[in-house]
Amino acid sequence: QGVMLLNRCLTVEPGKPGSHQGKGWEEVTDAAISALNNRRGPDGNIKPLVAILWGRKAQTLEPLLTNAFIIKSPHPSPMSARYGFFGSKPFSRANQALIEAGETPVDWALPSA
């Protein structure tokens, strides 16, 4: 459906959050974000992009997302979700942005077991 969930640092040592920061993953994720931000459709126009930035670290990437509709909220981790993530409705807001851009909304439902 055109959804990419991307963590800033793609790997981590078990039980050590942030242990792989500064090891090069940021360059990889920056390149992926830039490519998504600048992708074009067959007509040559920039394709719509919605970026959901959870937490302060993710929100520092906003300058790379010059062509995106930005949704920001606290990170959904158990330690910070109560400080604004609950009730922020990032998925419905993303779908609304897609609809306004003339795109198909995402079916965010989890598959049944």
Residue ranges per structural domain of the chain: 25-100
| CA count, 13 A, side-chain hemisphere, 78 | 0
Q: Output the pLDDT for position 68.
A: 96
Q: Output the pLDDT for position 78.
A: 86
Is the model's pLDDT at 15 over the cut of 90?
A: no
Q: List, in order, residues 6 or more apart from 59 with CB less than 8 Å away.
A: 53, 72
Per-residue pLDDT band at 113 (split at 50, 70, 90)? confident
Stated pTM of the model: 0.86
| Integer Cα distance of 109 and 24 in angstroms | 34
72-106 pLDDT per residue, tens: 999 888 888 898 899 999 999 999 999 999 999 99
Q: Output the pLDDT for position 53.
A: 95
